[in-house]
């Protein structure tokens, strides 16, 4: 299947979920609303989608396009921001104010991200690659999705990055040296 057709089907599915969640009840009664189940489905769909894009689509964009690195870097930064919010949803519960804040913010950033991919990246990518390449990439995406992770796995958890950050923080500051 054509890679962009495949990714668009994912986007349509996610956009549908976002539309339902956009009007989701907050506060008391949120537990009974089935909100947690809807959010779990969203987390699974988004986690799988972004994982296969990062595994296959962004490397293809980098390889095919002048300026592909900038496009991919921007999109991946959006994806990372989304994953942090999905992790908050994974860790939280309906009815908690921070849960609803994270959900509202995710709805906004996810729509922006999909818009960026479809309207900024895809037209350039489509113009740069052959129909055959699009088909082969689509097949790879389809196969990869079958075993893609269903959890967000943001790249800035408490582990390795935090240690690196602490390492940096422990270095003597040179910020004032040129002041």
Write the CA distances from 168 to 160, 162, 165, integer angstroms: 12, 10, 5
CB of 58 to Fe ion, least distance (A): 8
Residue from 3, 17, 43, 53 in contact with Fe ion (CB under 5 A): 53
Contact (CB, 8 A) for 117 and 12: no
CB 3 within 8 A of CB 121: no
First vs last Cα of the chain: how many Å apart?
57
Check binding of 46 to Fe ion (CB under 5 A).
no
Min CB(179)–Fe ion separation in Å: 40
Nearer to Fe ion, 38 or 122 (CB): 122
Q: Which stretch binds Fe ion (CB under 5 A): 98-106, 114-122, 138-146, 154-162?
A: 114-122
By C-beta, is 8 or 101 nearer to Fe ion? 8
Query: What six digits make up the tokens of 74?
Result: 């921007």
Residue 85 or 117: which CB sits closer to Fe ion? 117
Measured between alpha carbons, how far is 107 from 66 in angstroms, rounded to an integer?
31
Where does this chain bind Fe ion (CB under 5 A)?
Answer: 50, 53, 79, 117
């Amino acid at each position: 299947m054509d890679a962009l057709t495949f990714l668009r089907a994912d986007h349509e599915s996610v956009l549908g979920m976002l539309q339902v969640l956009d009007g989701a009840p907050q506060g008391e009664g949120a537990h009974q609303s089935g909100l947690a189940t809807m959010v779990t489905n969203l987390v699974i769909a988004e986690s799988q989608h972004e994982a296969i894009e990062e595994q296959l689509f962004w490397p293809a964009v980098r390889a095919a396009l002048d300026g592909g690195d900038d496009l991919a870097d921007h999109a991946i930064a959006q994806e990372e921001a989304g994953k942090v919010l999905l992790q908050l949803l994974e860790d939280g519960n309906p009815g908690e104010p921070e849960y609803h804040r994270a959900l509202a913010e995710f709805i906004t950033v996810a729509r922006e991200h999909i818009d960026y991919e479809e309207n900024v990246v895809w037209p350039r990518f489509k113009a740069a690659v052959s129909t055959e390449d699009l088909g082969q990439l689509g097949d790879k995406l389809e196969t990869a999705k079958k075993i893609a992770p269903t959890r967000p796995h943001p790249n800035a958890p408490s582990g390795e990055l935090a240690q690196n950050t602490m390492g940096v923080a422990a270095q003597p500051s040179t910020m004032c040296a040129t002041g």
